[in-house]
Structure 1
Amino acid sequence: MSTVTYLPYKDKIFITVNRDDRPSKSGAIAPTVKKVESGKILYPQSDKSGGTWIGIHNNGNSMVLLNGAFAPHIRKDKYRRNRGLIFLDIFDSDNPVKKFNEIDLHDIEPFTLVVWLKQNGTLWEMRWDEYEKFVTSLPADMPNMWSSVTLFDEAMIARRRKWFDEWRLSQKKITGEAIRWFHEHGGEGFERMNLNLNKGATHTLSITGIEISEDRSVMYYHDLVTGEQTINGWLFADEKSDK
């Protein structure tokens, strides 16, 4: 979970994620709907633990996970709970920001969450550095990009952000398909730095895009290992009628 872009355009919001991990972690399950206490969540399952790195809730919220907080950290052999499961613990809520502030993160590996809340159209960044929680309100009308600090230094993160800005400004029209193309092909042609990463033991395993509009939220999933592609999502009017 190494590269995330957030891009508002006209009446839509696009959130796109490259999942970068060891090829041994390539056995992800394509997005499916799971019932939870607060409603339903659509998400791909990352491994046998049942966790995930991205999801859309039928209440309209969307959230993504990046490994690490502000700086690289030394991994312990074992943690109390998988970060992908912590993601679901936090996202199973009407207000994930409030849930993040309340949840016990003792003995949890550092991570970053980016969440868009439909109810008030706000964007939040939440970081856990293994000692302290940090919550930041971000301008929801401005594009943004995150790269995992566990894989990239500050200079490389800035370079990737520059690619994103240059690509964005070169587009006459922004579409989800165009953004996903950027996530697959963006960069300078060097596999160790490109958005579609091949950095030794770490590869880009999948690209997932969320498109949010007034009446719906759609998830596009592309497994780069198997070639599998799926589309799923919510019509909010239908979800309200189911309650």
Structure 2
Amino acid sequence: MSISLDGIEPFTAIIRDGEDLYECRWDGHKKYNKPKSTAEPHIWSSVTLYTEEVIATREEWFNSWLSTHPNPTQEDILRFHQFTGDGDSWNDLTMNRGGETFTVSITSVKLGESKASMTYLDLKSHQQVNADFAIDKYTGALK
């Protein structure tokens, strides 16, 4: 079944189906569907906000960071997202484009066997919220 995306803004959707992971992109003209490994980490950047060159640079930052953080904690990942860049506020991971378009929050969810632990960083109010959600051991659904 093919779905027309004409008139839909470009997007990237990450879909996990059992043990399979897919990166599905719509660039406004063409659909892309790329299988991804669930055994290795990935980073994605908005196709509407960043050029391919900037996306490649962000992937380089991520791969470099992974080489020094082979088993990152949730806190390590949050710090990476909050502080990584080269000083270009338009394209750093926490970005600010003249106060009009900017990163307002960072959310991280760590999945365990019986719970999901979420950390939400509100970058405008400098508040952090932590919450745990139980996971149904039979269905995997959050309770």
Structure 2 length normalisation: TM-score?
0.79
Equivalent residue number for residue 228 of structure 1: 127
> What are the equivalent positions in structure 2 for 1:85-96 lying under 5 Å apart?
none
| In structure 2, distance between residues paired with 1:242 and 1:156 | 35
Q: 1:211 aligns with which of 107, 110, 122?
A: 110
> What are the equivalent positions in structure 2 for 1:182-201 lying under 5 Å apart?
182-200=80-98, 201=100
| In structure 2, distance between residues paired with 1:179 and 1:242 | 22
Equivalent residue number for residue 109 of structure 1: 9
Query: Offset at 1:125?
Result: 1.4
**Which structure has the higher relative contact order (CA within 8 Å, separation 6+)?**
1
Structure 1 length normalisation: TM-score?
0.50
Q: Deviations over 1:59-91 (max 9, x none)?
A: xxxxxxxxxxxxxxxxxxxxxxxxxxxxxxxxx
Aligned length: 141
Segments of structure 2 that go 5 or more residues without pairing to the other structure are none
Query: Matched residues, percent identical?
Result: 35
> What are the equivalent positions in structure 2 for 1:49-88 lying under 5 Å apart?
none
Could you say if the C-alpha distance between residues 233 and 130 of structure 1 is closer, same or farther in structure 2, counting changes exceeding 3 Å? farther
- Secondary structure, counterpart of 1:146 in structure 2: coil
Please identify which structure carries the higher strand content.
1
Q: 2:37 aligns with which of 139, 148, 154?
A: 139
Segments of structure 1 that go 5 or more residues without pairing to the other structure are 1-100
CA RMSD across the alignment: 2.8
Could you say if the C-alpha distance between residues 104 and 217 of structure 1 is closer, same or farther in structure 2, counting changes exceeding 3 Å? farther
| In structure 2, distance between residues paired with 1:213 and 1:137 | 24
> What are the equivalent positions in structure 2 for 1:163-178 lying under 5 Å apart?
163-171=61-69, 173-178=71-76
